[in-house]
Structure 1
Amino acid sequence: MPPPPASPATRQILAGVLLLVVSMWALSGLDASGKYLMGEDIGVTLFVVCLVRYGVHVTLTMLTIIPIRGWKALRCSRPQAQTARGLSMLAATMLFFTTLHYLPLGQATAINFLAPLIVLSIAPWALKEPPFLSRWVAAGVGLLGVLVVVRPGSGLDLTGTLFGLLTACALASQYIASRRVAVDDPYTTLIWSGAVGSVVMTLALPVYWQDIVALFGRLSVFEWLVLMGTGFWGCLGHFLQIQAYRRAPASLLAPFVYFQIVSAAALGWLIWGQFPDLVSWLGIAIVCASGITIGFIEWRRNGAARAGVPQDA
């Protein structure tokens, strides 16, 4: 007998998982493109990469969203929070591209996953949520995993490690701001994400104008495509995430976010021959296990809260 066909709800969830995994590859493509462009062989500066990354992002979102939803898609209920989110996102991008100048893609991405654990640990103060011991334990275990990745003897650059930790803090700020703009349409937030970064980089244009002029006649067609691709991969990754979370619950998708470490490690190996050693993979596994475990605990806690059951752990 053939198996029964999947229900529409099951197909939606599977589609959400698939979209999220593909978005992880797209965002790793963004990171790999930035690392490639800022390498010594090509030498595109950080400011130029960020200008193109956010300029292409906002152009693509405007061309695809405005024709469908109209100019009302630009209106948001909390412009200050949207601006704060855009600024923290730009800061995280600049810090992470700097990190990638010193560290392999896989290990740098693993450090980033401290960010959601930082958010959970400071939620009582930043989001006025009740304190839970399990969140602080998860953050401590996640930090332990990162320490295993960046341990002495790992060969990782200390400067890159410090920039990686700063990136995690900037991402935590972005996640907190994302909670505050959740009342807006996700596509509105997608537009603002690119618009804020584009405005800031445009205002700073006189500082690095000569860097842009120097690129003309120096970059090959392929390198120009990679540069333009930073905005495409970033926009695509965030767009696919919106689609994923529209089809499946966030609690169900949470474990699959950690597939970005796999995609980052794979691209780092394919492009630069950099692959985390066994001890680094142990640290990465600790970080992932910590995040997935606290995600499961939070899912159960939220379910119990909706049912009116008090929680104290």
Structure 2
Amino acid sequence: MPPTPSPQTTLGRSPFAGIALVVLSSWSLSTLDASGKWIMAVGLPLTFLCWVRFFVHIVLVLALIRPRSLSKLLQTQRPYAQVLRGIVMFSSTFTFFSALSYLPQAEATSINFLAPLIMLACAPWLLGEPPRLSRWLAALGGFMGILVIIRPGSGLDPIGVALGLCTALLFATQYLCTRRVAIDNPMTTMVWSGGVGATCMTLALPFTLPNAWPVLREFGVLEWSVLLSTGVWGALGHLMQIQAYRLAPASMLAPFIYLQIVAAAALGWMVWGDFPDALTWLGIAVVCGSGIAIGAVEWRRRPAPVPKAKVS
């Protein structure tokens, strides 16, 4: 799934290291998607998969935090926005894994990259930002690219396409919530988002475990390793992304985020033998081009940094 924009972005000290971390993050998150798709194919219910994904995620994140720092990280200036972001993140994970059960990984991932364009197009009404024609044109271009990908004759399951578009809308909502909680520490958002998902799925565990237990009893070392790795890849991908945004400006990293589609296509080909055809790649290129173009436009519009006053 596409990485979530970091709640805080700073002009970095090591842009090349930031780019490397974004590329590694894209592969980590794509491996999460591939692992989830594979483990569902062997019969594990989606609800139990989501519990493992979020539970392992929050355990790993908490393990990296010093106990004395945890209470401070739990403090948020916008708790309702953090809870809403966590609910939306959990919901988008559920719908995306559902879409993966119907669609090849590359196509499902490319549909999700419509989300940032939807967010920018809706920003005037939802964030109070000035309306800009360039954002609407970029969103229109991305939507045209999606139409090429899901065109009649592409062989994509309509249910999977509908779930993919629903996921894109949820991701757009998640990005909007991310802007609302940008005043908090990025690790605070990581803890809240993972904690909300883990809490929701733990409360549902008495209802989901009975269906999962017969499948889990047949699992070997490979199946358990892939299942547990979903939380590892998810936490690792988001942690690397946060560090990337600390090392390099967001506008510099934006084009490299779209390499996740390449990672998804490579993993889909290696694991299932799925590879997009020429027209699908054309649609993917239109989606990526729209996102990269509006990223460049937004970078040029950024306010100039205010020079620091000299101390005499």
Return the TM-score normalized by structure 2. Answer: 0.92
Which residue number in structure 1 is paired with residue 6 of structure 2?
none
- The Cα shift of 1:214 comes to 1.9
Amino acid at match of 1:211: N
- d(CA) in 1 for partners of 2:186, 2:45: 31
SS state at 2:217 partner = coil
Once the 2 structures are TM-superposed, how far is the Cα of residue 271 of structure 1 from its aligned partner? 0.3
Distance of 2:177 and 2:119 partners within structure 1: 11
Separation of aligned partners in 2, 1:230 and 1:216: 16
**How far is 1:69 from its partner?**
3.1
1:11, distance to aligned residue in structure 2 (A): 7.2
| Separation of aligned partners in 1, 2:215 and 2:72 | 37
2:57 aligned with 1:57, yes or no?
Answer: yes
C-alpha deviation, 1:10, in angstroms: 9.0
Question: Does the residue aligned with 1:141 lie in a helix, a strand or coil?
Answer: helix
- In 1, Cα distance between the equivalents of 2:255 and 2:51? 32
Distance 1:68 1:28, change over 3 A: farther
* 8 Å Cα contact 2:265/2:276 also seen in 1: yes
Other-structure match for 1:38 = 40
Q: Which deviations, in whole Å up to 9, do the C-alpha atoms of 1:112-162 show, x marking residues without a partner?
A: 000000000100111111101111110000000010011111111111001
Q: Which runs of 5+ in 1 are unaligned?
A: 1-8, 308-313
Question: Percentage identity across aligned positions?
Answer: 55
Q: Does structure 1 conserve the Cα–Cα contact (< 8 Å) formed by 2:119 and 2:172?
A: yes
- Indicate whether 1:76 and 2:76 are aligned: yes
Name the counterpart of 1:3: none
Partner SS for 1:65:
coil
Aligned to 1:204: 204
Unaligned runs of 5+ in 2: 1-10, 307-312
2:31 corresponds to which residue?
29
Q: Distance in 1 between matches of 2:83 and 2:74?
A: 13
The amino acid of 1:190's aligned partner reads M
Deviation, 1:264, is 0.4
Aligned residue identity for 2:56: V
* Distance in 1, Cα, partners of 2:101 & 2:27: 20
Structure 1 residue 65 displacement after superposition: 1.6
Structure 2 residue aligned with 1:13: 15
1:243-280 deviation per Cα after TM superposition (whole angstroms, max 9, x unaligned): 00000000111111100000000000000000000110
- Over aligned residue pairs, what C-alpha RMSD do you find? 1.5
Which residue does the alignment assign to 1:277?
A: 277
Q: Deviations over 1:62-98 (max 9, x none)?
A: 1112347343112211111110110110111000000
CA deviation digits over 1:212-241, x for unaligned, max 9? 322342111110111000100000000000
Once residues 11 and 134 of structure 1 are traced to their aligned partners in structure 2, the CA distance between those partners, rounded to angstroms, is 30
- Give the structure 1 partner of residue 257 of structure 2: 257
1:303 and 1:287 map into 2 onto residues whose CA distance is 27
- CA distance in 1: counterparts of 2:180 and 2:243, whole angstroms: 20
Query: For 1:156, what is the secondary structure of its paired residue?
Result: coil
Q: Please tell me whether residue 134 in structure 1 is matched to residue 128 in structure 2.
A: no
Normalising by structure 1, report the TM-score.
0.92
Q: CA separation in 1, counterparts of 2:252 and 2:103?
A: 31
Is the contact between residue 12 and residue 246 of structure 2 (CA under 8 Å) also seen in structure 1? no
Tell me the amino acid that sits aligned with residue 184 of structure 1: D
Amino acid at match of 1:22: L
Q: Counterpart in 2 of 1:173?
A: 173
2:4 paired residue number? none
8 A contact 1:65–1:187 mirrored in 2: no
How do 1:155-304 and structure 2 match up within 5 A?
Answer: 155-303=155-303
What letter corresponds to residue 14 of structure 1 in structure 2?
F
Tell me the residue number matched to 1:6. Answer: none
